[in-house]
Amino acid sequence: MSAAPYLPERVEIDAYGNGGFRFRDLSHKGSLLCLPGGVYGWPPADADQLQLTDFAEVLDKPDGIGFLLLGTGDNQVFPSGDIRRAFVEAGIGLEPMATGAAVRTYNVLLQEGRDVACALIAVEHHRSGS
């Protein structure tokens, strides 16, 4: 990733909505990518427009990522076959779900110490992350 992370570690998402996310007393407007090496802004804004290149950071450095929770906005959207195949080839599970479900699941799995990462498309409605 070209930009520095907000934080150099995985952290729970405290809240989502209003077009962004809150975590560890920080807020981010837009989509978010949470990896073992940090929390980053993520350019995609629409799950229907996702491209394989949007997942380069995950697929190029899969260390510590057993699976990626993909928050696809207000509704569950399945990524293209090319994206799904790339995750299979990298040995990383890919679980698409609505962003709210992805945030809640990510927080639980993070507390359990699982090797999870998430890519979250921002939504407008506001919710707590837990």
CATH of the domain at 104: 3.40.1230.10
pLDDT score of 10: 83
CA 33, distance to chain mean position in Å, is 4
pLDDT in tens, 42-80: 999 999 999 999 999 999 887 889 999 999 999 999 999
> Torsion-angle region of residue 65: left (phi > 0), alpha (psi -120 to 50) or beta?
beta
Which residues, 6+ apart, have CB-to-CB distance to 63 below 8 Å?
A: 36
Residue 10 lies in a domain: no
pLDDT at 1 over 60: no
pLDDT at 118 over 70: yes
Least confident of 7-11, 24-28, 85-89, 90-94: 7-11
Residue 22 lies in a domain: yes
